[in-house]
Structure 1
Amino acid sequence: MTEIIPGLQGEIPSNSRKGVPYVGGKKKVAACAKHFVGDGGTTKGINENNTVTDRHGLLSIHMPAYSDAIIKGVSTVMVSYSSWNGVKMHANHELVTNFLKGTLKFKGFVISDWEGVDRITSPPHSNYTYSVQAAIQAGIDMVMVPFNYTDFIDDLTYLVKNNFIPMDRIDDAVARILLVKFTMGIFENPLADFSLVNELGSQAHRDLAREAVRKSLVLLKNGENKTNPILPLSKKAPKILVSGTHADNLGYQCGGWTIEWEGFSGNNYTRGTTILGAVTSTVDPSTEVVYRENPDSDFVKSNNFAYAIVVVGELPYSETLGDSMTLTMVDPGPSIIKNVCEAVKCVVVVISGRPIVIEPYLSSIHALVAAWLPGTEGQGVTDVLYGDYGFSGKLPRTWFRSVDQLPMNFQDSHYDPLFPFEFGVTTESVKELVSWSTSAGVHAKPSTLTIIVSVIITLYLTASNNWLKQK
């Protein structure tokens, strides 16, 4: 993920010092590495929870990305709500000041999370003066105070005037903030450049987002064996079914932390293409596309569909709303899979921010695609379903069989996943297959068995011809 930093901030010039914040002009923005540190290792994955590991575990598993981010010139680091072995990260002087600023030589500024200072105590804000002192002394340079900013200013002023917080700590924070602002050119160009407004949501941006969708999709199953794949789908089928809770819902495709913090449902908050819309615009005009969100089995059996596309998954979420002990798809997703996939050849597309329970339904699913959160560009999904591009994505994390296995990580002694880390079935585009076929003088790419049989027949015919000539 640290590769995004040069994209946001610009490539560091060869004559610049590594590890120093860098933002290359008005068309770039300051990047933020978060949430420091161990946020991804909390007990049971619960948001704002406690990460229990020794120092070696913390440094070897959770710290490398921050070290790499600093080398790439990241401008800011945000502290996590979570704790390390019971100590709140917002109050952890050893890790924020001694390690991040000292050992890793981070020169940018450290920022708190939203009301992160308040949450140093339980209940939050119960001893705010203490929390302000602990956070600033820990090494936080900029504090995110969305509401009661007068309380923060009053408490910080009191603590500095009465020498509870030394002035050199304030000087350090100010110097770091100014360094980033100077690097960004904010004093020379303090206002936004409105000449760039028309680029937002431009077709070029949407094309890039569509490319990102198709390259990130992971094909988990494609038929029962390699010789009888389901994908790519035919664009010229007479009649097809599209169903599922997520088939015609941009909000579900986008997930949380988009236009709305916790996400939204429906197609009225942004412009884009749902998967249903993408299917309709991709197939041949002669193909009848039937949409039924939650069809019963009798409906599916009675309509003579060539195939079905079922789109199901999670509801949008962010932060604590995403905490789940079951990691299941939203109802009626399972029953839709059963009703459709037991009656017709089906492709199931899963919309989710993480692996979810899928094994109980896998035997009835003919092809399975992890689409993650494709956002507004649903045509990135149909690009690969219909073979305009091949599947190339690999799992960025292990896909479990059941939640009882968790936590489970690659190379654990009990590693028995449904789909392992970096798994993904690859396919070629229809264009590539046609190109191969044209050069070979046939109409489809042959299987290995077909090639072997063809070679044997060729050798037999050649030998027979030579024998006849001799006679």
Structure 2
Amino acid sequence: MQLPRVAQWRGRLVAASLLLLIPVLTNGPAAAAALPYKDPSQPVSVRVEDLLSRMSLDEKIGQMTQAERKSVTNSDITDYRLGSLLSGGGSAPAPNTATAWADMYDSFQGAALATPLNIPLMYGIDAVHGHNNVYGATIFPHNIGLGAARDPGLVQRIGRATAEEVSGTGIDWDFAPCLCVVRNDRWGRTYESYGETPDIASSMATEITGLQGSKLSDSGSVMATAKHYIGDGGTTGGVDEGNTELSEADLRAIHLPPFREAVARHVGSVMVSYSSWNGLKMHANRYLITDVLKGELGFSGVVVSDWNAIDQIDGQVGFTAAEVSTSINAGLDMIMVPDAWKSFISMLKSEVQLGHVPMSRIDDANRRILTKKFELGLFERPYTDRSYTGTVGSAAHRLIAREAVKKSQVLLKNKWGILPLPKTASKIFVAGKNADDIGNQSGGWTIDWQGQSGNTTPGTTILQGIRSTVSSSTTVTYNRYGTGIDGSYKAAVAVVGETPYAEFKGDRPGSMSLDAEDLSTLATLKAAGVPVIVVTVSGRPLDIASELPSWDALVAAWLPGTEGAGVADVLFGDYNPTGKLPVTWMQSASQQPINTGDGKTPLFPYGAGDSFPSTQNPYDVIGAAYYDDQSGTGLEHCTDSGCGQDVGWIAANDYIGYYDVDFGTTSPTSVVTRIASNSSVSGSLQYHLDSPTGPLLATVSLSNTGGWQSWTSRTASVTGSATGVHKLYVVASGGGGADLANLNWFQFNH
């Protein structure tokens, strides 16, 4: 039926009116054209001023408030106009998957966009060594390991990989990198520092570029945070959240340069430290935040507080209106108030109305926050870019992490060139609580705030890395405590050190030694008489000087993360170690603080770190005790300095066998043998190839040297020929059954 003409016209008017309303209600193209702040063709500064002019005080205070996700509902976000959320350490959706994170983020973002002005929120997280709160993410070495690697380009690639994984879960703000300069290794956050000098921390600010890209609106970019401003690594006694007692000149010389570099790299935010400078809490320090950071350094981004940190300003439990106004007036733009965010909003509004906080300060904070939201492209692309969700824990990112692990290993001792181990060794023993524990090798800030031991997230343990590296014919035996080892093993790899911790719970005001379990494990391995290679998994140098002489090799692995195969890459020679100490290694804990240039004598200096001999041949100079096979002999400790162990009780027809000896492409011309003897009879040691009765290579005569620990080196010509890889047997002859000599080491020369 046809409508009457008037009714038909009225119907079109109604329809037209509805069509005009829909774009406004749905934030569509017509609204964007109508409102300058929704027009992406406008300069960011124009958009910011237009939006700011439309905002009420409540909306402005909401933008300055950051709440923890567990303390809000979607309706809270909409009703209170919240500007930001965060996940604290271990705060994750269930299930803890990348997709669940993205779904959670999008839900929260939808609530923010339901506000009258449709202002999106920013979501922050501590992705400090990869996207470490997310199960299955790539966990990179903690910063101290990256400082040892000394590779700014690698750190930038790690930043980019982290940004992609963070973006894949929707999150747009990373509370990293930590640019603290650690000056006392007792500090529980030592591993969050790249090292003890401002130069090393400044050089690693490349992570900011990796996270943020060439501009924040780039696909897969997230906003970085330089933290913790300023001096948190220099507190007296290494106490977390403590007092940094320094002159301004020293504060500027040691702790300021990395932040200057961060500002030069256009870092989007700076997080203020819990600590104090000469008694004044940093969250109340207007001079350092407003005058120095924002004024002198020209920082134009967002200054954010740490977790409930404004509550520490007056030293009393529970934050007050005075602490709120003091922190905002000092220059903080966004306050992290995880649970008490409603009280913060109420107090800040009252302080503004009372004139204790000027509107100019509120507007300045909002300009900074809104600018970053526009630069991130959140108004145009507020929801998760799901094209990056599949990058979480990807093979490509794990390859970068493995590269970082092997480059971070620091070789500090390598007696007799025992490292690298041959992949074809017949038997290798692995022990220690950190050898097969992904949680221990990842450390704090992994899945949980403090981290935890055990199978916390997918990855490769150091033991798994060793097993995947050696030949199929090699037997790798593992026992956490060293139980079951005997003298038949080529070597023992002991992976010891610290278990996970974070922040103040990791402070070590007392002992910095290995724990009782580690010491017992090492004693068990040592008693077996095989070479002991120690790998320390720790967030800082440990007090090991008294134990070091009994170790044949020492590798500092720091906290390598999920890709433990990178440690095996070094142990077995697939990568010649290049890592250098980013901190000075103390002789004892009593030396703390110890830093380069302070006149103290360390166990290992800043910058220490060896590589393997250019021959890459562990048998070039070999300790005789490092055998694979033996008959009739025994091990003992030498009594002269530096001798280590020797093979004793060598009598006629006894032998010691060594597998996988690489003689190279040309046959050796001589062999030097270090022996000791108190025998009244004479004999010889014969070098045979491939079996105790195989081709004769050389013969060394034996005679009394004046005692069983009176050592001399004898040179004999090589009469046979040997090239390539062989088994080598040292066989005793003569003496009528009496003990002939002790053997310390031998060396073939070309």
TM-score range, shorter chain: 0.7 to 0.9
Shift of 1:237: 1.6
Q: How does 1:118-133 map to 2 (within 5 A)?
A: 118-125=311-318, 127-133=319-325
The aligned counterpart of 1:166 is: 358
Do the aligned residues in 1 keep the contact of 2:417 with 2:613 (CA within 8 Å)? Answer: no
Quote the sequence identity (%). Answer: 47
Amino acid at match of 2:518: G
The aligned counterpart of 2:542 is: 356
CA distance in 2, matches of 1:123, 1:429: 61
- Segments of structure 2 that go 5 or more residues without pairing to the other structure are 1-203, 619-661, 672-717, 719-750
Do the aligned residues in 2 keep the contact of 1:387 with 1:429 (CA within 8 Å)? Answer: no
CA distance in 2, matches of 1:172, 1:106: 13
Do the aligned residues in 1 keep the contact of 2:420 with 2:616 (CA within 8 Å)? Answer: no
The aligned counterpart of 2:435 is: 247
The aligned counterpart of 2:473 is: 286
State TM-score, norm by structure 1: 0.86
- Pairing partner for 1:382 from 557, 568, 583: 568
The aligned counterpart of 1:466 is: none
1:305 pairs with 2:493 = no
Structure (1/2) with the larger helix percentage: 1
The aligned counterpart of 2:605 is: 420
1:5 pairs with 2:208 = yes
- Pairing partner for 1:231 from 400, 419, 423: 419
Q: Secondary structure at the match of 2:453?
A: coil
CA distance in 2, matches of 1:284, 1:341: 25
Shift of 1:124: 2.8
- Pairing partner for 1:141 from 328, 333, 351: 333
CA distance in 2, matches of 1:330, 1:88: 35
CA distance in 1, matches of 2:372, 2:534: 47
Q: Secondary structure at the match of 2:226?
A: strand
Shift of 1:285: 1.4
CA distance in 2, matches of 1:407, 1:396: 14
| 1:400-423 deviations in Å (ceiling 9; x for gaps) | 01011111111113x200000000
| 1:169-198 deviations in Å (ceiling 9; x for gaps) | 000000011111111111111111011111
Shift of 1:119: 1.6
Q: Secondary structure at the match of 1:300?
A: coil
The aligned counterpart of 1:320 is: 504
Q: 1:89 to 1:431 in 2, by over 3 A?
A: same
- Pairing partner for 1:259 from 447, 450, 454: 447
Shift of 1:443: 8.1
Q: 1:383 to 1:173 in 2, by over 3 A?
A: same
| 1:259-294 deviations in Å (ceiling 9; x for gaps) | 111001111x21111111111111111111111111
- Pairing partner for 1:187 from 379, 386, 399: 379
The aligned counterpart of 1:461 is: none
CA distance in 1, matches of 2:308, 2:297: 26
Q: Secondary structure at the match of 2:485?
A: helix
The aligned counterpart of 1:30 is: 223
Do the aligned residues in 2 keep the contact of 1:36 with 1:78 (CA within 8 Å)? Answer: yes
Count of equivalent residues: 425
Q: 1:365 to 1:136 in 2, by over 3 A?
A: same
- Pairing partner for 2:238 from 45, 52, 61: 45
State TM-score, norm by structure 2: 0.55
Do the aligned residues in 2 keep the contact of 1:394 with 1:422 (CA within 8 Å)? Answer: yes
Do the aligned residues in 2 keep the contact of 1:255 with 1:264 (CA within 8 Å)? Answer: yes
1:331 pairs with 2:516 = yes
- Segments of structure 1 that go 5 or more residues without pairing to the other structure are 12-21, 448-456, 458-471
| 1:355-411 deviations in Å (ceiling 9; x for gaps) | 111111100100000000111111000001000111000000100010111111111
The aligned counterpart of 2:110 is: none
What is the Cα-based RMSD across aligned positions, in Å? 2.3
Amino acid at match of 1:409: N
Amino acid at match of 1:166: P
The aligned counterpart of 2:343 is: 151
Shift of 1:247: 0.8
Amino acid at match of 1:277: Q
Do the aligned residues in 1 keep the contact of 2:586 with 2:592 (CA within 8 Å)? Answer: yes
Shift of 1:337: 1.6
Do the aligned residues in 2 keep the contact of 1:314 with 1:328 (CA within 8 Å)? Answer: no
Q: 1:287 to 1:202 in 2, by over 3 A?
A: same
Shift of 1:254: 0.4
* Bigger Cα displacement from structure 2, 180-189 vs 155-164: 180-189
* Bigger Cα displacement from structure 2, 202-211 vs 277-286: 277-286
